Structure 1
Amino acid sequence: MEKILIVDDSILQAAQLKTILEDEYEITTAHTAEEGLSLASTENYSLILLDVVMPGMDGFTLLKKLQEEIITQSVPVILITSLTDIENEQYGLILGAVDYVTKPFHARIIKARVNTHVKLYKYRRQIEQQSMTDQLTGIANRRKYEDYSITKWNEAIRLRVPFTICMFDIDRFKVYNDTFGHPAGDKVIEAVAKTAAAHLKRSTDFLARYGGEEFVVILLGDSAEKAFAHLKKIRQEIENLHIPHDPSVSQWVTVSIGGVTVMPQRESSYDSYLKIADTMLYDAKKSGRNRVIWADEKMKQLHEK
C-alpha cells in the first residue's frame, strides 16, 4: 500500500482527508510544518498533501525545504489551501507543487487527483529504477553508483561516521571468457554479483557493477577492521562457489579486493579515496590475486595473506 503524508495544522481537516483516502492508502498526519519535514525526511511517501496557511512555517516555506532535500525533492506535493488567487497558485506551482486544490474541496476530486499523481509517481519510480539497474546482474549500475556515492559521502561527513570505498573484480576474467565463451562469462558475473549482494543487505551497504567484471562497494559506519573482515568473507564465499576456471591459471573463479576506510572531512575529496581503493585492488592483483588489501583511517595497509 502506498504511503501518503498529510501536513495540516487543522486536526479536523487532516482527519477529513484521512477518511477520504485511508481505504486505498496508508495515511500519516502531521500538524506542524516542522513535524511534516521530519516525517518526510525519514519515511518513503508517494505523495504529500500540504496545507499552505499554517502558523510558524507556512506550506510554501515547507515546500521549498522539501525541494532542497535530495530524499524528498522527487516526492509529489499537492497544495491544499483557502487562497484562491492566481498569484498564490502560480507561486506554488513554480516552487514545485504538482497540483493546487482550493477549499472547500470535494472527496471525489481529492481522490481523483491523488490517484493520478500516485500513479505517475509509481511509474516514474519504475522507470528510474530500470535506468539505475544493471540488466545482467540486477544490482545497481554505474549511473546509480555515481549518484549514490556522493550523496552518501556527504552524509558520512554530516554524521561523522566512517566511510568505506571498496573495489573488486574477477581474477583473470579475459582468460575465462576466451576459454569458456562470453555467455559463460556473463553467468560468472551474475554469480559473483548474487553472492556479494547476499552479504551486503544492510541499509548502509551498497553494491554496484562498476563496469565489465568490476564491482564497487560502499559501506557506512564500519571501522576499517570490520569492513576488511566483511569483504574477506565475501571473497571466500565467491571462491567457495567452486566455479571451474581455466586450469592453466586457476582452479576456481576468484576475486581480488581493494578498499579504504576513512573519516571524511569537508575538505577531503571522494575521488582521491576512490583512487586509493583502486590502488589497493591493484596491489591485491600484484600480490597474487584472490586476496583483500585494505587501507585503514591512518593509511596503514591490512593484508589478508
Structure 2
Amino acid sequence: MKKILIVDDSALQATQLKSILKDEYDITIAQKGEEGLRLAGEGDFSLILLDVVMPGMDGFTLLKKLQDDNATKNVPVILITSLSDVASEERGLILGAVDYITKPFHPLIVRARVNTHVKLYQYRKQVEQQSMTDQLTGIANRRRYEEYSIIRWNEANRLQIPFSICMFDIDRFKVYNDTFGHPAGDKVISAVAQTAASYLQRSTDFLARYGGEEFVAIAMGDQADKIFGHMKKIRQAIEDLHIPHDPSVAQWVTVSMGGITVCPPVEHGYGFYLQFADTQLYDAKRHGRNRVVWADERLKQMLEKER
C-alpha cells in the first residue's frame, strides 16, 4: 500500500482527509511543519498533502524546504488551502507544488487528484529506476554508482565510520569471449554479478557494474580485516560456480579483487581512494589473479595467501 503524508495543523481536517483516502493508502499525519519535514525525510512517501496556513512553519516554507532536500524534492506535493486568490496558487506552483485542493473537501475530487499524482510519481520512479539499472545484470549501473558513491562517502565522513571500496573484474575475460562467444560472455557477467550481489545485501552495501566485465562494490561500517574476509568469500563463491574457462588459461572462471578501507577523517577525497582500489586490483592480477588484495587505513596491504 502506497504511503501518503498529511501535514495539517487541524486535526479535524487531517482526519477528514484520512477517512477519504485510508482504504487505498497508508496515511501518516503531522500537525506541525517541523514534524512534517522530519517525517518526509524518513518515510518513503508517494505524495504529501500540505496545508498552506499553519502556525510556525507555514505550508509555503515547508514546501521550499522539501524542494531543497534531495531526499524529498521529487515527492509530489498537493497544497490544501482555502485561499482562492491567483497569487497564492501561483506562488505554490512556482515553489514546486503539483496541484491544489481547496477546502471544503469533495471526496471524489480528492481521490481523483491524489490517485493521478501517485500514479505519475510511481511511473517516474519506475523510469528512473530503469535508467539507473544495468540491463544485463539487474544491478546498479555506472550512472547510479557515480551518484550513490558520493552520497555514501559523505555519509561515512559525517558519521565517522569505516568506508570500503572494492574494484573487481573477471579474469582473462577477453579470452573467454574469444573462445565461447559474446552471448556466453554475457551470461558469465550476469552470473558473477548475481553471485556477488547475494553476498552484498545489507543496507550499507552497494554493488554496480562499472563497465564491461568490471564491477565496483561499496561497504560501510566494517574494519579492513572483516571486509577483506568477506570479499574473499565472494571471490571463492564465484570460483565455486565452476563455469568452465578456456583450458589454455584457466580451469574455471574467476575474479580478481582489489580494495581499501578508510576511516574518517581522511587525508584525500573519494577519487583518490577509488584509484587506490583500482591499483590494488592491478596488484591482484600481478600476483596471479583469482585473489583479493586489500589495504587498511594505513595503506598497509593484505594479500590473499597462495592456495
The answer to whether TM tops 0.5 is yes
Residues 177-186 or 75-84, more deviating = 75-84
- Tell me the CA shift for residue 39 of structure 1: 1.4
- Tell me the CA shift for residue 263 of structure 1: 2.5
- Secondary structure at the counterpart of residue 139 of structure 1: coil
- Tell me the CA shift for residue 267 of structure 1: 7.1
Match of 2:168 in 1: 168
Residues 156-165 or 266-275, more deviating = 266-275
Match of 1:276 in 2: 276
- Secondary structure at the counterpart of residue 57 of structure 1: coil
Match of 1:3 in 2: 3
In the aligned structure 1, how far is the partner of 2:220 from the partner of 2:84? Answer: 47
In structure 2, stretches of 5+ residues that fail to align are none
In the aligned structure 2, how far is the partner of 1:146 from the partner of 1:233? Answer: 26
In the aligned structure 1, how far is the partner of 2:235 from the partner of 2:138? Answer: 20
Match of 2:71 in 1: 71
Letter in 1 for 2:17: L
Match of 1:201 in 2: 201
Are 1:299 and 2:275 counterparts?
no
Are 1:232 and 2:232 counterparts?
yes
Deviations 1:137-192 (A, max 9, x none): 11111111111111111222222222111110000000111111111111100110
Kept in 2: contact 1:153–1:264 (CA 8 A): no
In the aligned structure 1, how far is the partner of 2:298 from the partner of 2:14? Answer: 53
1:112-191 maps to which residues of 2 (within 5 A)?
112-191=112-191
- Secondary structure at the counterpart of residue 44 of structure 1: coil
Percent of aligned pairs with the same residue? 74
Are 1:99 and 2:99 counterparts?
yes
- Tell me the CA shift for residue 82 of structure 1: 2.3
- Tell me the CA shift for residue 260 of structure 1: 1.2
Residues 100-109 or 263-272, more deviating = 263-272
- Secondary structure at the counterpart of residue 202 of structure 1: coil
Name the count of aligned residue pairs: 305
Q: CA RMSD in A?
A: 1.3
- Secondary structure at the counterpart of residue 137 of structure 1: coil
- Tell me the CA shift for residue 209 of structure 1: 0.5
Residues 19-28 or 222-231, more deviating = 222-231
Letter in 1 for 2:241: L
Letter in 2 for 1:202: R
- Tell me the CA shift for residue 266 of structure 1: 8.1
Compute the TM-score of the two structures, normalised by the length of structure 1: 0.97
In structure 1, stretches of 5+ residues that fail to align are none
Letter in 1 for 2:250: S
Match of 1:47 in 2: 47
